[in-house]
Copies of this chain bind each other. A is one copy, B any other.
Amino acid sequence: MQRYFVPVDNWEDNKVSIGKDDAHHINRVMRLQPGDEIICNHPDGKAARCSILVSEPDRIQAEIDEWLKESVELPVNVTIAQGLPKSDKFELVLQKGTELGASGFIPVQADRSVVVWDKKKAEKKLIRYTKIIKEASEQSHRNKKPQIHSLMSVKELVRESSTYDIKIFAYEEEAKSEVYRSFGSIVNDMKLGDNVLVYIGPEGGVSDDEVHLLKENGFVAVRLGPRILRTETAPLYVLASISYQFEELGCR
């Protein structure tokens, strides 16, 4: 059943009203009629099975049949802070990261990012990224849409990180040292509801200054398996592993 995110103001008693873009999708793409069913996601994470009552080109009104008892949200809140990569790789991270259960994304202007965003570009990008996240959330049947933050420097990320319970960053050099804390042991220590911040450097990796700053502020360096992952593959490894541990292995 198709799923739509509906803003909080569009819910009233047992009725839901769906605006222009999604109405277009319901009418033209899904070709749904009055009486057909959809799932509407409330911004607070709940979801309801609804029947279409009124179908107009710009507006759909639906009735709530049943609130669903389901949770497909990762039991820890994982925010991916990604050093700006080249071309459209950040879009891949957003789409796949949303499918894999991320809570949020922070684009980071890192020392070794080849790409530089000015303010105007950043604003334009954020609109596009919000759309990618919304569509991926609906497609993967998420109850909550991940949040996309504004562009930060690594310094700003470190300031932001004070509200997180667990902070890690991918650092391939770490795997070469004899004593290091394994990613597995860190995930094992995560508790339900923990806020986890994961920093992944861009293609060129993490600069020495950044390593120093991150370590000084409680970020733990981890390797993600023994192979060298591309920058856009690393966050997917982190999210799949945490999902596997909590949702499939049943270690909670």
Contacts and interface: CB of A to CB of B under 8 A. Distances in A.
Give 4 nearest A-B pairs by CB, closest first.
A184-B249, A240-B240, A241-B244, A184-B248
A145 interface: no
A244 B233 CA distance: 14
Copies of this chain, complex-wide, total 2
A141 B140 CA distance: 32
A140 B233 CA distance: 11
Interface residues of A, number: 36
Interface in A187-207: 187-188
A229 B249 CA distance: 18
Contact of A241 (B72, B226, B227, B240): B240
A139 B230 contact: yes
A100 interface: yes
B240 A188 contact: no
A243 B249 contact: no
A140 B99 contact: no
A225 B184 contact: no
Contacts of A245: 244, 249
Contact of A72 (B99, B227, B244): B227
A236 interface: yes
Interface string A223-252: 111111110010011001101110111100
